[in-house]
Each structure stands twice: as C-alpha cells, then as structure tokens.
C-alpha cells in the first residue's frame, strides 16, 4: 500500500512540475483571472485569440517590471494594390486632378503608395506618373497628361485658360477625414464643375520637359508653388496635419502636374477587416494593427501578420481584438495563415 501511495505522489508531483513548465507567462506577469492562461509557451506573457466571427474580445495583464516585449498580431486585411476595387480609393490619402472640357469633366485620382489611377471619366491612355517619398510626413506626385487623352481639341496656346482644380485627400482614422482644394468650396467637386478655377497657361510653357520621377527638377523650380487652402471636408489641425501645393507646366504634347503634400500620417489605400490594439491602464493606444506595417502571413493574400518590439514599463495593460463576419479561426473562408490564428500574442524578450 505504501508503495502504491508513493507512486501516486510521484505521478502527481510530475504532473504539477511539467504543468508549471507549460505556463505561458513568467512569474512577473499576472493575467486577469477571468481569462484562462495561454498554453505551452514560457515566453508568452499574454494572448488574445479569436475563435470565430463577430467577436469583440479584451484581456488584461500586468507587468510587474519594465519588460521588452514582442507583440505579434494576425488578422484579415487587404489593400487597393492587392484587390483593386475592393478598397475604396477615395477614402484614402492621395490627390485628385479635375479638368472641365465643356461636355465632360475628367477626374483623375492618384492614391498614395499605389500604382493605379482611378476617377470619373478618367481616360488614362498614355498618362505617366511617379511618386516620391522625401520624408515620413511628405509625399510627391508628378504626372504627365497627354493633351489628346485629356480630350482637348488641338494644341493649346498661351492664350488658353484651363477650367480645373486640384485637391488632396487625407485619411487618418480609416476613412476620408479631410480634404483640401485649390478652388473648390465643397467636396462635390466631381459633380459641381462651377467650383473649378481658371488657370491661364501663359507663362507656364516649357521647352525642356520634366523627368517624370516624382522629384522636382530644375524645370519646376521656375514655377510658382500654388497652395491649396480651401478646407472642403472635415477639419485640419495645422499644416503638418494636412497641407498641399501644386505646380503646372505644359508643352505641345503634355500637361504636367507636380503636387507636394504634407501629411503627418501617411496611409496607403488599405483596410484591416479585423482590428487589434494594446492599451495602457489609462486607455492610451500603444500599438494597433495597421496594414501598412503588416506582411503576408501565408495562405490567402488577405492574411496579414504584424510584429513589433516595445519596451513597456511596469503596469496594467489591455489587449483588444475584434473580428468581422468572415475568415476567423475555425471559420476560415480561404487558406489560413501559416500559423493558423487570428488575434494577438505578446512575448517577453527580456
């Protein structure tokens, strides 16, 4: 009997010992009691994983000392580049050029970090453009429009005046937040052509055509930078939040446009269908899932993975994760990511 009891005690001890090795979190981490601990990864301090669609999840954890962490998020998302037409380009950072041809208005939309052109009545035959990224808060578009593509009859002269407008779109929080224009007074520019301004071609003709590379070369330096100061949608905090200038040149073949934009939060035409973030105890967002910071997670193109390293002071933190109507764990509607989970994992690097 004693031998049997001794064997039972050994078995219980082994189970407890090896069970403790499978604990996800080090001693310094305390997880909220309402949520079970993550499994089988000693470096994992917290995780918040979806098990289906239409879920709104949260989980708190506490760091008892300053810790260097690696936060990994996986979710569903796409961009205008991956699936053209699925993401609405007009909701994102970019520029628009409008020209009134009398019987039709052509609208050309160029989205930041995209190689495609959209817009109403936009004939893109022969249109060339380039982007430049001179700083974290500035981007530049340089465009060549063939006169034939714009639909003008014959070659213009110095006496001609263009009925046109230029605007800049800004997206800071997942949709079109604000918009500025040179002449327009409201965001219905594509419908109300009467808002367009008159731009005289005199004094803007060039002999040396600019190189379409997104960089303002010498030929542009002789032209006035015309500011876009009309706020036609939303509100703007200051010039760093959103401001823009344009310049025009022309020759017998093309109309050339150079637009410079100051934007403290540049975003490409992209969208995360599932949302995740990390907050401190005061509700300040310290990290969030962003398409621009993500990479392909394997499987379907819409599987995105984002990894970042943060140094967090001791304190309480909350993870939040929300899934939409499709493509979550246990409900994949396409190939799952290589590591098949939807949600957030936080690992201690110290």
How would you write the pLDDT of the chain (350 residues) with one tens digit per residue?
A: 444 444 444 443 344 333 333 334 332 333 444 444 445 567 899 999 999 999 999 999 999 999 999 999 999 998 877 776 666 677 789 999 999 988 889 999 999 888 889 899 999 999 999 999 999 899 999 999 999 999 876 778 999 999 999 999 998 866 788 999 999 999 999 899 999 999 999 999 999 999 999 999 999 998 999 999 999 999 999 999 999 999 999 999 999 999 999 999 887 777 788 999 999 999 999 999 988 889 999 999 899 999 999 999 999 999 999 999 889 888 899 999 999 999 999 999 87
Q: What is the DSSP letter of 27?
A: T
H/E element, 221: helix 218-221
Q: Phi/psi at 294 (nearest 5 deg)?
A: -100, 165
Say if strands 295-296 and 343-348 run parallel, antiparallel, or are unpaired: unpaired
What's the CATH number for 25-79+270-348? 2.60.120
**DSSP string computed for 84-139:** TTTS-GGGSSEEEEEEE-SS-EEEEEEETT---EE-TT---TT-EEEEEEEETTEE
- Are the beta carbons of 258 and 246 closer than 8 angstroms? yes
- Are the beta carbons of 195 and 107 closer than 8 angstroms? no
Residues, the chain, total? 350
- pTM for the model stands at 0.66
Domain with CATH 2.60.120 in the chain: 25-79+270-348
CA dist list (Å): 148 to 42, 211, 257, 258: 66, 20, 16, 20
Instruction: Supply 67's token pair.
Output: 């810790």
Instruction: Supply 189's token pair.
Output: 């520019």
Number of Cα atoms under 13 Å in the Cβ half of residue 206: 21
Fold of 89-262: Immunoglobulin-like (2.60.40)
Nearest 10 degrees: CA dihedral of 27, 29, 33, 38?
A: -90
């Amino acid at each position: 009997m004693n031998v049997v009891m001794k064997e039972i005690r050994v078995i219980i001890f082994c189970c407890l010992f090896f069970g403790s090795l499978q604990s996800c979190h080090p001693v310094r981490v305390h997880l909220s009691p309402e949520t079970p601990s993550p499994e089988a990864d000693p470096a994992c301090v917290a995780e918040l994983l979806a098990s289906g669609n239409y879920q709104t999840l949260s989980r708190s954890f506490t760091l008892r000392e300053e810790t260097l962490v690696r936060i990994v998020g996986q979710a569903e998302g796409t961009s205008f580049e991956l699936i053209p037409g699925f993401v609405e380009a007009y909701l994102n950072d970019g520029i628009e050029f409008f020209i009134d041809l009398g019987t039709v208005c052509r609208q050309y939309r160029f989205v930041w970090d995209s190689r495609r052109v959209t817009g109403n009545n936009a004939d893109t035959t022969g249109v060339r453009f380039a982007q430049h990224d001179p700083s974290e808060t500035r981007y530049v578009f340089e465009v060549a429009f063939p006169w034939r593509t714009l639909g003008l009859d014959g070659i213009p002269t110095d006496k001609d005046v263009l009925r046109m407008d230029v605007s800049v779109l800004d997206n800071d929080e997942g949709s079109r937040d604000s918009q500025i224009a040179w002449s327009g007074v409201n965001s219905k520019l594509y419908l109300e052509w009467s808002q367009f301004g008159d731009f005289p071609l005199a004094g803007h003709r060039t002999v040396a055509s600019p190189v379409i590379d997104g960089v303002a070369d010498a030929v542009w330096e002789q032209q006035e930078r015309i500011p876009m100061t009309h706020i036609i949608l939303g509100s703007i905090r200051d010039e760093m939040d959103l401001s823009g200038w344009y310049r025009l040149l022309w020759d017998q073949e093309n109309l050339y446009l150079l637009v410079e934009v100051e934007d403290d939060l540049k975003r490409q035409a992209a969208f995360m269908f599932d949302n995740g973030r990390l907050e401190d105890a005061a509700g300040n967002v310290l990290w969030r899932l962003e398409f621009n910071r993500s990479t392909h997670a394997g499987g379907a193109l819409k599987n995105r993975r984002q990894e970042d390293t943060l140094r967090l002071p001791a304190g309480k933190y909350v993870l939040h994760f929300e899934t939409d109507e499709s493509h979550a764990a246990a409900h994949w509607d396409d190939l799952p990511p290589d590591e098949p989970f939807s949600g957030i994992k936080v690992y201690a690097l110290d």
